[in-house]
């Protein structure tokens, strides 16, 4: 799965981590839905840290379609609310 973190680039994340990332994504979605700023910041930071830890960065000159696009760590709760789809930030 190819995941883009806005402002950072793309990472190739092994599909075996999809369930784990969906759990972290669910926490972000729940915090945004409840308008809980601190929980949102913490859950987004955890999701991004995990993607960075398990993903392999793609070269900057390699253009590949992203399966998921994650906001930068400093993205506001209101901005993420506008990005959320029915499945959260990470489909699946």
Q: Express each pLDDT in 33-60 by its tens digit.
A: 999 999 999 999 999 999 999 999 999 8
Domains of the chain, residue spans = 2-83
Largest CA distance in the chain: 39
Mean pLDDT (whole number) for 66-89: 87
Write out pLDDT tens, residues 2-39.
999 999 999 999 999 999 999 999 999 999 999 999 99
| Helix or strand run (H / E) with residue 48 | helix 37-54
**Residue 10 in tokens:** 């793309």
DSSP E strands in 1-92: the ranges are 2-5, 9-12, 56-57, 68-70
Residue 86 has pLDDT above 80, yes or no: no
**Residue 6 in tokens:** 């806005």
CA angle, 5 then 10 then 14, to 5°: 105
């Amino acid at each position: 799965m190819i995941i883009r973190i806005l402002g950072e680039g793309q990472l190739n994340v092994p599909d075996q981590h999809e369930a784990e990332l969906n759990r972290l994504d669910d926490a972000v979605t729940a915090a945004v839905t409840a308008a809980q700023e601190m929980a949102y910041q913490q859950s987004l930071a955890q999701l991004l840290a995990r993607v960075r830890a398990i993903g392999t960065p793609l070269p900057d000159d390699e253009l590949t379609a992203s399966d998921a696009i994650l906001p930068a760590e400093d993205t506001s709760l209101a901005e993420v609310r506008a990005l959320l789809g029915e499945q959260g930030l990470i489909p699946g």
